[in-house]
Chain A
Amino acid sequence: MSVILSMDMEKTFNEIFAAQKKLIRSVDVLLNLGDPQSDTTCKDLIYEEDKMQLFHYQPLTKKVCKVPTLIIYALVNRQYMMDIQQDRSVIRNLLELGLDLYIIDWGYPTAQDKYVTLDDYIDVYIENAVNEVLKRSGAEKLNILGVCQGGTFSAIYTALNPNKVKNLVTMVAPIDFEAGAKSENGLLFKWSQEMNIDNMVDTYGVIPGELLNLGFDMLKPFQLMLNKYINIIDNMDSPDTAANFVRMDKWILDSPDQAGETYRRFIKDFYQENKLVKGTLEISDRVVDLKNITMPVLTIYGEQDHIVPASATIPFNDQVGSTDKELVAFSVGHIGMYVSAQSQNLLAPKIAEWIMKREK
């Protein structure tokens, strides 16, 4: 008994010392780390309007897909998650596989953007970005790769402008918000249904990103607000590990404010009334009919996604009018879709291969 007890105590002492040493070492590593960069794949700014910027990535292969691909990311968080670091970059992988890539950067809305509407995002910013890509590339149609909320926007845009889109790929994109709310891990969908969004937007004007971040953290409170920091203390001996962690955490904390009027519509029309699936969503007085999407569609979702549950994504393929459509699942969460080893090895090749097959 005493031996067991003493061994436990010795272990515990050692744990305390080890934890303290690791903490000091971790902070030491962090302080000397500099500022690890993301978003470093070479690209050129080719168009901008208000806060929106459109970039064209420099190709990494001699032979490039003739049909350009436009990436439309969410308004929440920043698009450089797809280029978080060079050895875990979906963008770089896609470029190396021969895609001709463009990406929209929504920027950081400020107080003056409170009146920017969902109609503006679809009919002005995306529309102008699409036109610019078509003009620049000389192509008649483009591919759209819509990510998360950007996938929802992509579906809307494509339904309204099917003549401009050759292939549509959506990744972890919420479409059926009612199904999402019924899902066990659809907490954001459940919470949003009760929100008095009018009062919030009328008062704040522009919704603080920090507030949204708190909501995301609450989806896995102990894991996201405690355990990941404890775990990283254990593993932060190497500056590389520290830099990877910092890049990811900086991205998580980099949460832009949301243009109030757009946020109001998104909560009301999507989370609360599920209008896109019901066929009652209107953009600039035009009804969005998902059946207008008749081009090839690739829908990708994460089986462990806690932000956009699979149940909110999967129904998309039943809603569209396409005959050539494919549903692909990866055994990852929302963030893992961009950075996990599995997605690095499988995701980009899947997208590139699927698009290339439909190039002509």
Chain B
Amino acid sequence: MTQKDLLGSWLDFQKKAFDFWQESIDINPQDKVEDKTTNIFEESMKPVQEMIKKWVDSSTDLYSQGIKKFNDAYPQQEIINKLLSGANLYQNLNKFWEDLKLNITGQDSDPNNFYEKWNQDYLKIVSNNFASFLPEQMRKFFDESLDIYTMTTAAGNNFSKPWLEEAPHLQNLLVKSMNGDQAAYIEFNKLWSDKFASSFGKIFDIPQFSMNREQMQKQMKLFNALINFINIINRFVAVLVKVNQETLEKIIKDYQEMIIAGNNPKTFKEFYEYWWPQNEAAYLKLFATPEFSKLLAQVLEAGVNFKKEYDNFLEKQLKFLPYPSKTDMDSVYKTLDTLKREVRALKKEIAVLYEEFAALKETKSKHIAKSGNVNKSAKED
């Protein structure tokens, strides 16, 4: 059985399973529940609802995992991944909507409590989808930023071990910062700078300290660039999260007002159609501000600086290998470019010379023909 057949059978099974589930769950409460038993109905439906949600979650997850195994086998794999990511957000947003319906029912509901309850999960729901659109290098960076941090510190470990005695504390602060604690980040940076200035900063001033001083400085520059990048990313994310939270708060409050006015979305689809343009508008408003343009430029700058230091560091580390480095290749490209321009210029010159030669030849043959005619007529005379 080929992979495609296998997937086909599995898909078929999934479809049948869906049909079975849908048929087996009798969603017709009027037959079973009296008008006065709204709460009983709600309560009785909760386990079923929960069960269905869990089943849907697990089947989607299983499905997504199954699809991922077919990586590269299909030309539109990237599109399928984005489709699944969108569907995942859609499905998770449905959970939010279900809870919103249960908790915001009218004037007496407390939107603030509901906001507090959903704040973090809602952020994850939304951000997971958008992270999948980041360029792969960036995505990896976000996903593995802590690993990169560890890797980077490990790279300079031989030399910087004593200084990194503060590492657990630094790492603790870093973890806090990654979770959005701005104060921890500021403290982290301060501690790092202080430690650097009071230890390595002084040691590096001693010229004969180490044969590897240059390499150590490269490591420290890389480390510094990484910290700056994470720092600015953190600020960037904080700005995005702020809009996300404000929009969430607005949506909950608006929903309450719509409930009171009786014009609230009645189905999840209606809610979704209300939800996404609200978010779009909020982000576009942010994106159009001069502050955002500056911040975006800073993120780009810090990312570029980190890449620059990382490239330098790697190049130095790998120079013992018998392969050309990026700098070597740049030099080859530059030479090729120069030669290409020279060839182009020479071709132009040759073309001009050809034209001149052809014109000269034509003039000459005309001249010969003319003088031939003169001689001929002279003879005739």
- Using CB atoms and an 8 Å cutoff, list the residues of chain A in contact with chain B: 1-3, 5-6, 8-17, 19-21, 23-24, 26-28, 30-31, 33-35, 50, 111-112, 114-116, 124, 184, 187, 190-191, 193-196, 199-200, 202-205, 208, 210-211, 213-214, 217-223, 225-227, 229-230, 232-233, 245-246, 249-250, 253
Contact = CB atoms under 8 A, between A and B. Distances in A.
A253 B268 contact: no
Interface residues of B, number: 89
Contact of A12 (B84, B134, B267, B337): B267
A210 B277 CA distance: 26
Interface in B297-351: 297, 300-301, 304-305, 307-308, 311, 329-330, 333-334, 336-337, 340, 344
Contacts of A202: 308
B122 interface: no
Interface of B: 4, 7, 11, 14-15, 18, 21-22, 25, 27-30, 33-38, 41-42, 45, 49, 52-53, 56, 59-60, 63, 67, 70, 74-76, 78-80, 82-87, 89-91, 94, 98, 101, 129-130, 133-136, 138, 266-269, 272, 276-277, 279-280, 283-284, 287-288, 290, 293-294, 296-297, 300-301, 304-305, 307-308, 311, 329-330, 333-334, 336-337, 340, 344
Contacts of B52: 13, 16
| Closest 5 pairs (CB-CB, A-B) | A229-B86, A194-B297, A210-B135, A6-B29, A115-B337
Contact of A253 (B25, B78, B337): B78
Contact of B333 (A115, A190, A203, A233): A115
Chain B contact residues: helix, strand, loop or mixed: helix
A21 B28 CA distance: 21
A208 B307 CA distance: 13
A205 B288 contact: no
A5 B90 contact: no
Contacts of A19: 87, 90-91, 94
A6 B41 contact: yes
Contacts of A229: 82-83, 85-87
Given A24-B63, A199-B301, A199-B304, A111 B267 contact: no
Contact of A200 (B14, B70, B101, B304): B304
Contacts of B38: 1-2, 5
Contacts of B49: 9, 13
